[in-house]
Structure 1
């Protein structure tokens, strides 16, 4: 696994809203991910606590997502979670934790400020 990065489609573009605390004009936010039903979070045997439960249990969801979820779906989920931080909360999205997503937003903000 390589380092976490925002999906290419979600990296800062001119006119895209910066959720890292800066100003900027608002354009569209990432839509809800298009799920196929084959994702580990949608499996009939999936335990919702693996994505939203206590931190130690969320590791199960994080590993399942990183090993079984299609990359295109992970990119959509990450884009949505980065654009909707209050709704994404502390749950696992695209194999990322809340602190991972905070770091990604901070890196994006710093890159646009440079």
Structure 2
């Protein structure tokens, strides 16, 4: 049996490579500012980077594209992270930026008030 390259360009006609990035993930920060949930391409890897570009958390979207990622530390006082999705071919989506809202200044003032009361 012989196989001929009918299109004369030496390419495999069945060779297809995924070059399309996943959709930009949605990202919602929980009220405790430590959990991010959202939706993207099914089974995509979720990657969360801090403001320096360091990966601080990863997970994988389920078969419907839903994901939940728990951060090691809450996002506080305007700190930002970038959430992106990576498909099995290695294509990376555009990032969604999530901004922390946890007010640690209130806790600091409360702490100082408690110290002053203890000194009385």
Same fold (TM over 0.5): no
TM-score normalised according to structure 2 size? 0.25
Task: Choose 1 or 2 for highest CA Rg.
Answer: 2
Higher relative contact order (CA 8 A, sep 6+): 1
Which structure has the highest helix share of the two?
Answer: 1
TM-score normalised according to structure 1 size? 0.26
Which structure has the highest strand share of the two?
Answer: 2
